[in-house]
Amino acid sequence: MKVELGPVTRLEGHLNIKTTVENGVIADAQAMGEMFRGFETILRGRDPLDAQQITQRICGVCPYAHGIASSQAQEAAYKLAVPANGRILHNLIEGANHLYDYLLHFYQLSALDFVDVTAIAKYQGADPDLVKVRDWVKAELASGKKYPAAPFLPRLSGQYIEDADVNIGALKHYLEAMEMQKKANRAVAIFGGKFPHSTAIFPGGCTQRASIDLITAYQSLVREVIQFIHDKYIPDLVAVATTFPAYWNIGASKGGFLSYGLMPRGAEVTSPRLLAGGVLAGGEVKPVDYDRITEDVAVSKYSTPSGKKVREAMLEPDPKKNGAYSWVKAPRYDGMVMEVGPAARVLIDYKQNNNKTVRALVDKYAGALGITAAQLNSVLGRHLSRAVCAVAIGEFVLEESERLDPAAPTMAELRIPAECEGFGGTEASRGALLHYVRLKDHKIDKYECVVPTTWNCSPRDDKGQPGAVEGALIGTRVENPEMQIEAVRIVHSFDPCLACAVH
């Protein structure tokens, strides 16, 4: 039986998933990016200092990661000596954006796969926000609309949390989480200039000052968000995990893991990172070499040669290409499929025993929830890994903000060679993000982005290997083949962003 799950909602962009179900098991799956954009083409021939601005327009969710990857690529190309303040401000902007993004993903994009929001109809308490939601849901249900109470309904049939207090508590936190996202975004905007699409991130640092008033404003916003993470987000996540323990064993990807590492702990981009990067394959972590990344287009809608390295990649759209089913390319590392994102970050850091908070939290929750670290490769594992990253990042940005020196510069002096090239690799919330820039005659000759969701939602490669999401779906048992709530939970656990994936 063939079933199309698309357009899959509660994610960013246009994703379709086609599945073939045999005897109640997904025997085949295709992840399809359904829209072409062409940012790399737009960048060709432009002033290089447009790049960190234009590439942020790839996405309104993770623009800061694009701004920072672009800045790092240009810093490498121009051989800039970034002052300590400049790197710290990049970290503060990027870190607060991660905090926003984890809350957005858990509450607005995933929680309703597990939490029974219809419990609100029977709410008898006096919380003004919940009373408003209850009355609105009742009015919607009585309205005769074809689709009342969106975005809560309609929903896939399946098992949801049954405890009314847990459901209503989670709904209250769903509302509060939006306020917390505002606070995280404000923190981003303090040094980034605005949200979304920072005006202040620049190759060589940040155009904002590091004044005491801005530092204290940033700290107080981030502290509130961290409090919410501990008091609400993690307990809600644990409630989901204890109600649906089967999801520690559902949705494992079948390849390796890749992370570039998040947030240098020093001015040099090559400084050790808060979360250490690496390639995890066959149980071993090795350093990343960007030249081992290739982009296959066997079934992607491009007529350009397949298997090119990042520096050589080309982009010729071919919407009618025979046999092609996605606008997403298929990046591979040494020819291997990689999962990127929170589970990759945590597993790779944990294996290298790098970050004490990561190690302590993984051990604590693995013990409490009765799982092994390897089970982070699962639906619940990706959710838990986001919470682990949130705690480690929250702690770090507060410490990092204390290291700012208000009297010192925040920007390197810019000198741009006529011809040069550079890579910039960071961790966006959704995973490993690489930008490459090459200049000729002071203009951009080539720009290439290899983006987290391009890895995760990639179609088959030249060898026919499924991408990470496709592989995680294949082999999954589904209760109701027409609905496949299990498949949607798997897809959501990766937090796909198709706007980023195809850019």
C-alpha closest to that of 222 among 188, 259, 191, 260 = 188
Q: Which of residues 330 and 500 has its CB atom nearest to ligand NFE in the complex?
A: 500
If the CB atoms of residues 298 and 499 are measured against ligand NFE, the closer one turns out to be 499
Give least dist CB 329 to ligand NFE, A: 12
Cβ at position 501, least distance to ligand NFE in Å: 5
Instruction: Give yes or no for a contact between 412 and 204, defined as CB atoms under 8 angstroms apart.
Output: yes
| Shortest Å, Cβ 475 to ligand NFE | 24
Q: Applying CB under 6 A, does 501 fall inside the site for ligand NFE?
A: yes
Taking contact as CB under 6 A, which single stretch among the options 45-53, 119-127, 389-397, 495-503 is the one that binds ligand NFE? 495-503
- Cα–Cα dist 26/470, whole Å: 10
Smallest gap, in angstroms, from Cβ of residue 11 to ligand NFE? 10
Asked if residue 331 lies in contact with residue 458, where contact means CB atoms within 8 angstroms, the answer is yes
Binding footprint of ligand NFE, residue count (CB under 6 A) = 17
Please identify, using beta-carbon distances, which residue of 347 and 428 lies nearer to ligand NFE.
Answer: 428
Helices (H), 208-280: 212-228, 234-243
Q: Which distant-in-sequence residues (6+ apart) come within 8 Å of 277 by Cβ? A: 259, 260, 261, 262, 287, 288, 348, 425, 427, 432
Comparing CB distances to ligand NFE, the nearer of 119 and 184 is 184
State which residue, 296 or 427, has the beta carbon closest to ligand NFE. 427
Cα–Cα–Cα angle for 448, 263, 346, nearest 5°? 95
Q: Which stretch binds ligand NFE (CB under 6 A): 246-254, 320-328, 373-381, 494-502?
A: 494-502
Are residues 411 and 200 in contact, defined by beta-carbon separation less than 8 angstroms?
A: no
Q: Per CB under 6 A, which region of 55-63, 132-140, 157-165, 436-444 contacts ligand NFE?
A: 55-63
Q: Is the CB of 109 or the CB of 166 nearer to ligand NFE? A: 109
User: Which span sits near ligand NFE by CB under 6 A: 3-11, 60-68, 119-127, 249-257?
Assistant: 60-68
Residue 59 interacting with ligand NFE (CB under 6 A): yes
- Which of 85, 392, 408, 2 lies closest to 266, judged by CA? 85
CB 248 within 8 A of CB 385: no
Going by C-alpha positions, the residue among 254, 288, 270 that lies closest to residue 432 is 288
Beta carbon nearer to ligand NFE, 82 or 497: 497
Q: Determine whether 143 is exposed, middle or buried from the number of CB atoms within 10 Å of its CB (0-12, 13-18, 19+).
A: exposed
Residues 415-474 that bind ligand NFE (CB under 6 A): 428-430, 433, 451-453
What are the b/e assignments for 384-415, b being 16+ CB within 10 Å? bbbbbbbbbbbbbbbebbeebeeeeebbbeee
Residue 499 found at the interface with ligand NFE (CB under 6 A): yes
Q: Is 21 in the site for ligand NFE (CB under 6 A)?
A: no
Q: What residue ranges in 340-442 does DSSP mark as E strands?
A: 420-428, 431-440
Residue 61 C-beta: closest distance to ligand NFE, Å = 4
For ligand NFE, the closer of residues 87 and 345 by Cβ is 345
Distance in angstroms (rounded) separating the CA atoms of residues 150 and 10: 12
Quote the least distance from Cβ 326 to ligand NFE, whole Å: 14
Candidate list 21, 62, 412, 490; residue touching ligand NFE; CB under 6 A? 62
| Number of neighbours of residue 151 by Cβ within 10 angstroms | 12
Which of 12, 40, 339, 461 touches ligand NFE (CB under 6 A)?
Answer: 12
Candidate residues 8, 11, 65, 80; the one interacting with ligand NFE per rule CB under 6 A: 65
Closer to ligand NFE by CB, 12 or 486: give it. 12
**Is 219 exposed, middle or buried (CB count within 10 Å of its CB: 0-12, 13-18, 19+)?**
middle
- CB-nearer residue toward ligand NFE: 59 or 115: 59
> Could you give phi then psi for residue 157, rounded to 5 degrees?
-75, 145
CB of 382 to ligand NFE, least distance (A): 13
Out of 51, 61, 380, 444, name the contact with ligand NFE by CB under 6 A: 61
Nearer to ligand NFE, 26 or 328 (CB): 328
Helix or strand holding residue 28 (H, E)? strand 25-33
Interaction site with ligand NFE (CB under 6 A) = 12, 59, 61-62, 65-66, 428-430, 433, 451-453, 497, 499-501
